[in-house]
Chain A
Amino acid sequence: MTGQLSRLGCLLLVLGIIGCEQQKDPVYHDQFFAFGTLIDISLYGVEEPLAESVCRQIEEDFMDMHASWHAWQPGPLASLNRHLSALEEDTIEPSILPLLTEAHRLSGLSAGLFNPVMGRLIALWGFHDNALPLGTLPDNTAITEWLAQPPSSNDINIDGTLISSRNPSVAYDLGGFAKGYAIDRAVDRLRAAGIHNAIVNAGGDLRAIGQHGERPWRIGIRHPQEDGIIASIELSGDDSVFTSGDYERFFEVDGKRYHHIIDPRTGYPAMNTTSVTVIHSNAATADAAATALFVAGPDQWWSTANSMGIRYVMLIDTQGTIHINPEMQSRIHFEPGINADISLSALLQ
């Protein structure tokens, strides 16, 4: 009896010790500021020294990319813009050549709705800088002049590393694209370090690779018009989820909202759309597509998604109607209590 009690006592003590061992969070989190937003990195099952080291490398990469790609602060892109506005040929820095080439490819696929060379128009609205011109509308004459000679990717000629423009209105602003491109580079960096389960989240736009241990990564999509979540999605492969919304950067004049997503066809903020959520394996493509589909609006998003090779789209218009394609509808789960009208499109091809 004494022996049995002793064994029981030992068992209880062992269990007690196990009980005192707190389960360690298997996800390593890191945050830093870059690209005018907060970068949040989650790594599953990675030892801390490696996680810390690779996150610092990514932070350094982001700082370098931001400095090189900024259209208005001194750097290669700002220098390029000066030459292009004078219709001078220039040499592209190798570090930004693939960025520009990919931006023009996506612009072509979007029929110019994603326009990487409309920097002057964005500057007229004051959305090129972190500071907003609160309560100030741009001069309509300046917008009309810009529209008289609207720059597009077709105005640009790239031959090797030489670049020229035939339109003095051309000015690069990669705000609708660079963040996605940078996320892709961060994922490349993670994979090179042997990390295959991670989320790189830049201000709410993210790419998730692998999964969270035995389960998928769980992503909530924030409601664009209310507090809280509108839908969720589980990711367990390699997917980027990008949302463009009219609530991100805006100012109001006489009670009317003027947001930062400018329609290059009108020179004014794109109407009729509140938010667009896109899923694509490539973050740069998802970034450009979210902008293009926002501009395309409820009537043209489907054809634009088709031409850009996007398979998963949810667009919420200013009336609150959710426009969604069947493939996207089968992937996301709306939260209980979401009673919006749903307009289901044809299958994307």
Chain B
Amino acid sequence: MTRADRILILLAACAMPFLYIHLWFGDEPAGLVQIRKGGHAPVFETLQPDRKLRVTGTLGESVIEISNGRIRFASSPCTTQVCVRSGWLTHAGEFVACLPNRISLTLVGKDPRFDAINF
């Protein structure tokens, strides 16, 4: 074993804790939201920082607000406003949809406390 081999093994050993933390637990924020629009593949957004997202659906533009790790429909062009009235989603597993505009939000997490939310 050469000196270079030993240095390599030492570096690997030092990197091990970082690799475990980084790859097993990830460095992404704990909360993600899955946004699905019609039949399109879902996209994922982090719940940090606070911001507003504008998503265009079948009827028009829905404004989705992210604040303090929560998410909600702030406005939507539908007549029912069921999505807006549903309020904030706070736990992984919760979802809300604006059916007329064909947009849905689902909170997901690596180890969600709940597998599903009843409401």
Contacts and interface: CB of A to CB of B under 8 A. Distances in A.
A9 B115 contact: no
B102 interface: yes
Interface residues of A, number: 54
Interface in B1-60: 1, 5-6, 8-9, 12-13, 15-16, 19-20, 23-24, 36, 42
Contact of A218 (B90, B96, B102, B115): B115
Interface string A234-247: 00000001110101
B90 A204 contact: no
A89 B18 CA distance: 74
A208 B104 contact: no
A219 B116 contact: yes
A250 to B, nearest CB: 8
Q: Does more than half of chain B's interface fall in helix, strand or loop, or is it mixed? A: mixed
B100 interface: yes
A243 B118 CA distance: 7
A242 B37 CA distance: 26
Interface residues of B, number: 42
Contact of A220 (B15, B16, B42, B114): B114
Interface stretch (A17-25, A167-175, A340-348): A17-25
B99 interface: yes
A221 B15 CA distance: 42
Interface of A: 2, 5-6, 8-9, 12-13, 15-16, 19-23, 27, 31, 33, 36-38, 40, 42, 130-132, 134, 199, 201, 203-206, 208, 212, 217-222, 224, 227-229, 232, 241-243, 245, 247-250, 277
15 contacts: A12-B16, A16-B15, A16-B19, A19-B20, A38-B96, A38-B97, A40-B95, A199-B115, A219-B116, A220-B91, A220-B94, A227-B87, A227-B88, A229-B114, A249-B82
